[in-house]
């Protein structure tokens, strides 16, 4: 693990995830800010000249792990936010029938689809714990597309 890899991931994966979430909800989620704070703490240790090379490596890896986590969290929070709004429509019969630019049947079918996709993404994430933490990233993105 090196600092370039971490910042490449920040630019190529975290920034798009963050922009999707903040661009959708129009606010900054506390949960994301706390993870970013954790990342900064570990990075400051990485640049501390008073610690050993081994400890620097441990800290850069921890920062990378937090960055992975917060990237996935952005998509999970985005999905939860979208799902909550759709669920309100689903529960309101008149909006469901008259307030959409698609038929009620199509709306319900799409709701079922995003539920299945979310379940698949979550399953993949749990199967990949400790092996490939980002394996479920594209699946989570597909859920909110």
Partner 1 sequence: MSKTVIFERRYGVNVNDFSTTEEIDEVVEKRIGRKLGMVKLEDHGIAHSRGNVFKLRKYDIDSKLEEILRGMK
State which residue, 23 or 50, has the beta carbon closest to partner 1.
23
**Considering only CA atoms, which of 9, 145, 7, 28 is closest in space to residue 82?**
145
State which residue, 38 or 95, has the beta carbon closest to partner 1.
38
Q: How far is the CB of 94 from partner 1 (least distance, A)?
A: 22
In angstroms, what CA-CA distances link 31 with 6, 44, 115, 128, 135? 20, 20, 23, 23, 22
CB 137, CB 71: distance < 8 Å: yes
From the centroid of its chain, how far is CA 142?
12
Q: How far is the CB of 69 from partner 1 (least distance, A)?
A: 7
Number of CB atoms found within 10 A of residue 127's CB: 11
Q: How far is the CB of 49 from partner 1 (least distance, A)?
A: 26
Q: How far is the CB of 74 from partner 1 (least distance, A)?
A: 10
State which residue, 46 or 140, has the beta carbon closest to partner 1.
140
In the complex, the residues that contact partner 1 under the rule CB under 8 A are 11-12, 15-16, 18-20, 22-31, 33-36, 38, 69, 73, 76-81, 83-84, 112, 115, 118-119, 122, 138, 141-142, 144-145
């Amino acid at each position: 693990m090196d600092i370039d890899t971490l910042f490449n991931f920040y630019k190529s994966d975290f920034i798009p995830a963050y922009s999707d979430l903040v661009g959708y909800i129009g606010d900054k989620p506390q949960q994301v800010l706390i993870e970013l704070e954790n990342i900064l703490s570990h990075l400051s240790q990485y640049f501390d000249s008073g610690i050993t090379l081994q400890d620097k490596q441990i800290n850069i890896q921890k920062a990378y792990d937090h960055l992975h986590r917060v990237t996935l969290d952005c998509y999970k929070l985005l999905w939860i936010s979208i799902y909550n709004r759709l669920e309100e429509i689903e529960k309101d019969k008149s909006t469901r029938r008259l307030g959409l630019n698609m038929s009620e049947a199509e709306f319900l079918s799409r709701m079922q689809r995003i539920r299945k996709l979310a379940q698949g993404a979550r399953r993949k994430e749990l199967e990949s714990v400790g092996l490939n933490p980002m394996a479920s990233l594209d699946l989570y993105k597909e859920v909110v597309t």
